[in-house]
Amino acid sequence: MNSIFLRVSRGFAAGAAMVLAMPPAQAAEPVTQNVVRPYSDLADLAESAPLVILAEIRTVIPLNPPVAGQASARFYVEARGLEALRGVMPAGQELRYLADVALDAKGKPVIGKKARVLLFSRAVAGGNGEIQLVAADAQWAWDAALDARVRAVLADFSSPAVPPRITGISMALYQQGDLAGEGETQIFLNTANGAPAAIIVQHKAAQPVRWTVSFSEVVDASGQPPAAETPTWYRLACFLPPMLPPAANVGETQEAKDHALGDYLLVLRELGPCGRTQAK
């Protein structure tokens, strides 16, 4: 995920110096009210934001006057921190940051003074309340349902049992079984920390094809596919390549390679789309 660096000096409103490096506002959808956020967006931010804050906005100042019909604008925001869902932040701390915010038909920000927001961010060293949002859409309008989902996802990705990130596919091999209609494809995955990971697809006569994934040395082929909207599902649905790399398909015959490719595509279909909407 591309980081967005937002740093605002204490005296910004009076015209003090500011450092800002941020993609254009249209690079990601600005925050809006009542948007159902996909699990993949939550998971992306849960992994990249060391500081997640529930805050109440106090001041919203546009960096430039909004233009008629403009969908969003960049604002300097001052807010009061209410709670740190992740990381350390003293209650009541005054926060300062920049954010792209959607505009209503009158050119006013849809999130204004006294609104509650969730901020996916990192602290600025020595910034005394200055924070950096980790993505262009890393300020989200708060509601109780979203709050519960964010807390659950943060807990999932803070667990030592969370699977490692998938970085690619090292090998895929289909082996014919002893009986007609039987066989197995083993797809070995590369991971960010070097831990073993593999997808196993089994074919048995007169039975539906079944598959599972393992993130350990011991592959349990009797397992089930991961449930949707879980860390394991996210690792696969959002990071497996859309096609099996030909160089990784090492079957001895073209028929074996075709079986392995077909099994890989079956896994992708059953996982379904990642659903990510934010810039990654």
Mean pLDDT of 153-177: 95
Per the document, the length of the chain is: 280
- Which pLDDT tens digit goes with each residue over 117-148? 999 999 998 778 899 999 877 999 999 999 99
Cα 30 from Cα 261, distance rounded (Å):
39
pTM above 0.85, yes or no: no
**Average pLDDT value for the chain:** 86
What does the pLDDT read at residue 16?
32
* Partners of 166 in beta bridges: 191
Strand partners for 132: 122
Which are the contacts of 115, defined by CB distance < 8 A and separation ≥ 6?
Answer: 56, 57, 141, 142
Q: What average pLDDT score do residues 34-45 get?
A: 87
Query: Which residues make Cβ contacts (< 8 Å) with residue 98, sequence separation at least 6?
Result: 6, 8, 20, 22, 63, 74, 75, 76, 77, 133
Q: pLDDT for 40-57, tens place per residue?
A: 999 999 999 999 999 999
What is the rounded distance in angstroms from the CA atom of residue 194 to the CA atom of residue 1? 21
pLDDT value for 189: 97
- CA distances to 88, 115, 196, 225 from 250, rounded to whole Å, are 49, 56, 19, 24
Report pLDDT for 35. 67
Quickly state the pLDDT bin for 280 (edges 50, 70, 90).
low
pLDDT given at position 222:
74
Task: Find the farthest-apart pair of alpha carbons in the chain and give their distance in angstroms, rounded.
Answer: 79
| Contact status, residue 96 vs residue 131, Cβ threshold 8 Å | yes
Per-residue model confidence as pLDDT tens digits over 216-242? 887 777 789 999 999 999 999 999 999
Q: Is the domain 5-158 a CATH 3.50.50.60 member? A: no
Q: How far apart are CA 52 and CA 150, in angstroms?
A: 9
Taking the C-alpha atoms of residue 171 and residue 163, their distance in angstroms, rounded to an integer, is 19
Q: What is the DSSP letter of 230?
A: S
Residues of the chain with CATH 2.40.50.120: 5-158
Return the structure tokens found at 42: 């939550």
Residue 226 CB-half CA count within 13 A = 20
| Residue 160 vs residues 24, 156, 163, 212: alpha-carbon distances, Å | 36, 9, 8, 21
Note the pLDDT of residue 23: 37
Q: How far apart are CA 202 and CA 199, in angstroms?
A: 10
